[in-house]
Amino acid sequence: MQFRRLYTTLSNSNHNPFFFYRNLTNPFAVFNPNPKFLSTPRILKNRVQRSIHVYKRFVSSFPAMAEGRRPTHVPIPPPETANKAELYRALEAAVGSPFSSDPLAPDPHPLIIVVSGPSGVGKDAVIKRLREVRENIHFVVTATTRGKRVGEVDGKDYFFMSKDKFLGMIERHELLEYALVYGDYKGIPKQQIRDHMAKGLDIVLRVDIQGAATLRRILRNSAVFVFLVAESEDALVKRLIDRKTETKETLLVRIATAREEVKHMEEFDYVVVNREGELENSVKLVESIIDAEKAKVRQRTVTI
């Protein structure tokens, strides 16, 4: 009653600046002094109906769940007695879409495999055998300024060239990496890598330790680095002697260099011990490394 009197007084006042309209509706004019409260069962019924309405709206927002998009019911025959083609069609009808023949896993990326190690560990022998047994792989031919050895073929074993021509490739930025090794230049042409990776082929690079360090700085973790090593220093020295291509001075240099190069082993991803007389095992291990890399979920991606 007091509220109704207060409202009547304020609405009839001409001096109240907060009331801009005099003809206000009295909210208490239709006040029901004897309200009827909903019973508990009726409240629950209303809440359930509202929940069902919200659920229907939620389901209809998904086409696959909506009433008009439900797959036609097709009985699925017993798998143990049903015809394979018939069962296949029934399962497609049950799930509401045809089964895709697209590969579930993407094709692996082409790899760059960097093979390195001290002189005399058998890098050339491993790569030559790998070339014979492995498909879809390109062995990069290195450019060099050194002279040809007996049996070597230009364009197959190396690109033999003059020092001036090699320096010209450096100026035109045509080499992925290059180095001065024992007085001769060696380098890897970029274009042959790009061309063969575009065909989906894996790339194998044979470089010395200095070249591998340079490639690691350039390619980082996008390439696979394999360190090839002999079973012992004793075996390594005997192999260098058996090559009969070194003078006593160069033998001493190569032995001293090999001792330093072995210290860089931990900078590589994999180590392959190429034991004397076990070439096949070494090649199989390199193949296993390539296969393992291609099976990785997170593939290496290379940009040259």
Q: Could you list the active site residues?
A: 149, 243, 254
Spatial separation of the C-alpha atoms in residues 208 and 129, rounded to whole Å? 19
Spatial separation of the C-alpha atoms in residues 144 and 192, rounded to whole Å? 15
Residues 6 or more apart from 268 whose CB is under 8 A from it? 116, 212, 225, 226, 227
Spatial separation of the C-alpha atoms in residues 182 and 189, rounded to whole Å? 20
Among 225, 185, 183, 191, residue whose Cα is nearest residue 205:
225
State whether the Cα torsion 245-248-254-255 is positive or negative. Answer: positive
**Within 10 A of 166 (CB to CB), how many other CB atoms are there?**
19
**228, containing H or E segment:** strand 224-229
Q: Residues 161, 201: contact at Cβ < 8 Å?
A: no
Residue 75 DSSP SS3: coil
**Within 10 A of 83 (CB to CB), how many other CB atoms are there?**
10
**169, containing H or E segment:** helix 163-171
